[in-house]
Amino acid sequence: MDRHTAKTLADLNRTFYAKVADTFHRTRSEPWPGWSEIAPHLQALASRSPRPRILDLGCGNGRFGAFVASLGIDFEYTGVDGDETLLAFARERSLANTHYLNADLLEDNFTDRLASDEYDVVALFGVVHHVPGREARAALLESAATRLAPNGLLAVTLWEFGGRERFAAKAISWETFNRTADVPVDPDQVEANDFLLPFADSPAVRYCHFLDEGEIAQILARLPLRLVRTFRADGKSGDLNRYLLLRP
């Protein structure tokens, strides 16, 4: 994938979230069921650290921070997101010891603006599938790993919509998209498992990528971390997200 195509797809997603932020917040405020499987790891960290530091990359409306607070853990939370409307919803939760940073995970050098050099938990939930380009996806996870404390936890979800008929039926072809797009996308530049998907009843379209086993293995091989657990949860089927829990 060339830089122009990657930028076009990233811009598409920025526009998408700007259009659907209100609807997204109303329909995406509850904790993901899979987070209950992470709770024991968070509680174990809290038992070793007086105030665990959590970095939530792509935090959206801050619902993961609210989930951690519901566990009764005294923590310091930093949420990073590129959509100011979603961050405004996150701030409305008024959680203690929380900080929010409006930054683009793909363009801004956001790590220079973080309050801490390392975090006990670094989370990327619902993020990786929106990153255009195999190299960019691996680079983002490598960057996240560099901010992990020696005994920390990197928690990542991968949206496993690939091969499911209900998503395949909704997918918009590149040719159809290009007929009305302000900036068309060269179909020869997109990668395998790249898709355009609508959201609810909105006409807005988002770019999504399905990571297959080969790509997951390549990314894991590049990270200076060990996979301690993987499982599937969430969605109506209970298996729509694949969770990866990694430690140094």
Of 129, 108, 133, give the one whose Cα is nearest residue 206.
129
Cα 212 from chain centre: 17
| pTM of the predicted structure, to 2 decimals | 0.94
| Alpha-carbon span 45 to 73, nearest angstrom | 10
Given 3.40.50.150, 1.20.140.10, 1.10.443.10, 3.40.50.620, which CATH number is that of 3-247? Answer: 3.40.50.150
HSE-CB at 33 with a 13 A cutoff on CA atoms is: 12
The string of pLDDT tens digits covering residues 196-217 is: 999 877 788 999 999 999 999 9
Q: Which residue has the higher pLDDT, 212 or 51?
A: 212
Contacts of 124 (CB under 8 A, 6+ apart): 57, 58, 140, 141, 144, 154, 155, 156, 157
Residues, the chain, total? 248
Q: Is the pLDDT of residue 108 over 70?
A: no
Integer angstrom CA distances of residue 144 from 32, 119, 132, 186, 229: 21, 10, 17, 30, 18
Question: Which of 160, 159, 166, 127 minimizes the C-alpha distance to 143?
Answer: 127
pLDDT band at 54 (very low <50, low <70, confident <90, very high): very high
| Segment 139-192, tens digit of pLDDT | 999 999 999 999 999 999 999 999 899 889 999 999 999 999 999 999 999 999
pLDDT at 112: 82
Q: Is 229 helix (H, G, I), strand (E, B) or coil?
A: strand
